[in-house]
Structure 1
Amino acid sequence: MHIKNGKVRLKMALILWYLCLHLVCTNTEKFPTALTIKEDLDDLNIEEDAHDSDPEDMEVFYPTDKWQTLKPGQAVPAGSHVRLNLQTGQREAKLGEDEGLKLKYWTDGKRQGMVNQNAASFTHQELKEALKKFKKEADDVSIKGSAQARFRSMDELKKDMEALDLLVETDVQIMRKLLSKLGSSNSTVDERVTALLDLEYLVHQVDNAQNLVSMGGLQLLTDALNNTDVRLQESAAFVLGSAVSGNPAVQVEAFEGGALHKLLTLLATPRQMSVKKKVLFALACLLRHFPFAQSRFVRHGGVQVLGELFQANGAEALRVRIVTLLYDMITEKELISQHGADDPPGSAHEERLRQYAEVPLLPMLAEQGWCSLVPELLDSPEHDWREKALRALLTMVPRCQTLYQQNPKLITSLSDLQKQYQELALTEENLGEEDGYFKEILALVDSLVGKMHEATMGVDILHYQNS
């Protein structure tokens, strides 16, 4: 009995000795009580998952408030309670009473760290969690700073929206205000001119031009054309031309409102050339692709009005515009005739052909002396003027061929131009421009000379046969 009790006492003494030895060893493996984190957190390689396996983590015991079995070789954090389970013979550990880990985070400018207030050690997992926390805070600050730089506050946005609400107006609202200013007797001439220029910018759009008609704008333009102020006349003609350009609906409205008669009157009566220049622009826009208006233009003496303007003193700058208008009307009719050759009877194109057939422009040009007027543009030093004159002369060959042959000045001019443009075309070719501008003009000269020679040969053959 005494021997048995002695063995028990010896066993208990060995256990107490083992526990004391273990406590001494664990207390000597303390970490520093504070940790300072590097300022550049992006250089730290922090695992995103706190529970990822790590070779070092396998040797460290993470105590809780309940007893857990220790594995061989596992280190126990300081402050933990350790016991030996007499029934299983295994060591167990848990957190000390009221000694749970309490971390205090601190910052000093750009520096930051943490302190364990209850214990003097940190586990490897605790260090990783703390570093992740610091990095997250740094990322949040960076994102917040970049967002503030990119986006404005709600108050600022509201102020901007309020300012926009005051400025946003539809074209219809703007046009209504401009027309009101144009028609007001209280408006000055400068205000009316400004209103007209603003209208000219808007009526280039098809819908705006049609809205101008529905708002009574055409009548206001006519009133401005009748005004004695030169600036109002110019601006009104400019707006009218822009409104009817490429807009058939507005062309019809303007024509029915007497625009053609008004424009011809302005061209035929004494006016400043600056006014006639804008009026000629409006006339060209009104007649283009509008055969009914073209027929009325010819019948109401339009060709004669343009002929008188062509020969007027100080109208040199308008000559090329007049010839261009006539050329456009001639070629437009020819192109329509060629395009509609295969159209079925009763088509819309057939109606257009019928309308163009009622425009006797070429006979009227020959009758009004244009076969001699157009060649005068060849004396101009401007290549552009010469080009337009040559194109017009070519389109007028069917009616003016005989008169061309009887015009010695035209024959001399063509000979001189042929030599000049041969040299210019050769210079272009030497510079690597195979299809240059001067070569194109030379082709026009050669074509006109060729047609005149063909007519001469035909006359000679006819004379030979008759003899």
Structure 2
Amino acid sequence: MSSIRPKTRPLPIIIALVLGLLLCLAVPATASASQHSPQAGSDKRELICHTSNPDECYPLVFEPTDEFQTVHDDQQLPNGLHVRLNIWTGKKEAKINVPDEINPALEGLPVDQAVVLVEQEQQETIQVPKGAPKYDNVGKIKEPAPGGEAQVEAIAFMETFKMLKTGVIPSDEEFDHGLEGLEELSHDIYYGLKITEETDVIKALFCLMGTPEGPVSEGYTPRGQQAAAILAGALSNNPSALNEISKIWTELMDSTCSHEGATIHELFYHHTILPTDSPSKVKAAVSAVNGLLKDDKIRQHFLEDNGMKQLLPILFQEKAEWAAAQRKIGQLVLDTFLDEDMGAQLGQWPRGQALSNQACVTPETALEDGCWDYHAEMMVRLHGTPWSKELRKRLASARKANSKLPNHGEL
């Protein structure tokens, strides 16, 4: 008796069915992957979206390129990038760091991590007299530490430095912001020296300082005032910076300001300190002149060119807003010519005797050296401040001590 065996499907058919089932399952996944493949990479990024517009989203982790891009405040920065602060926008920017990359703004200058280097001069051997006080090397210039905030400052400094040197200004707003930042840095002994080492930059600052102000809108600092403040800051307690200007003084005075068509000498002695300017501008300019007069050569030229005549009209002003500028002038005269304890070299000024009150209210003679006593007395009566009383007292003593000198201008 023959047995009945169950029918079985051939093996090839079973294999084909299994493969077909797997293929059907794979098709939707493949189609889905194909549909979204252009954004496959972006799907893996964590995005930050502050609006419903997807075009305004940006990755949580900053993705650098070879060009500087703005870094959002809530983005994460990978390590090793070249990061800078854009002084015009106030935004942080970053790009791929390229070792030994040279900033075009620093071309031609020795740099170390975007910090300008000052080449140390050869120190001369000085024979110290016996019993002299110990020397304190307070004038030694040290470069800022590289990296961090110092790097940002150096880049901002060089961008404004380049605008002053070349005269090429991207925009008025950028230039004004740059001058404001440069004024802050000028008080640093290192940057003060760098400013005065470049002749073209010094010429540009003197030209700006001697430019008439004209009407000034509220909240705006005129460029002449900013330039004066930069010079004053650079010269403050910085003998090395003062020496740089002293070396080029004659050349500087003979230079012409292209936008004014006048020499710096003419602007410096006739337009830098004017009662028609704002008291703030005059105060900054007097501070700059005070710093310059610390140099023997410049002080001699200043006296020979009747520089004191541009200071005296400020003492004529009776409004309270002029008090600070008048005090600056009083301090300049005391520290430079009358108060030996403050470093003044006595006997250089004033010369001759005081003029009469009548002479000092006459326009033709009101600016003579002999009228300083009269206007110092007016300051005492107007303000009664300690500096005005000290100025009056010191002037009287100087007149007495200098009585044997020729009397220049006495009527």
Please, what TM-score do these two structures have when normalized by structure 2? Answer: 0.47
Answer with 1 or 2: which has the greater Rg: 1
Structure with greater proportional helix content = 1
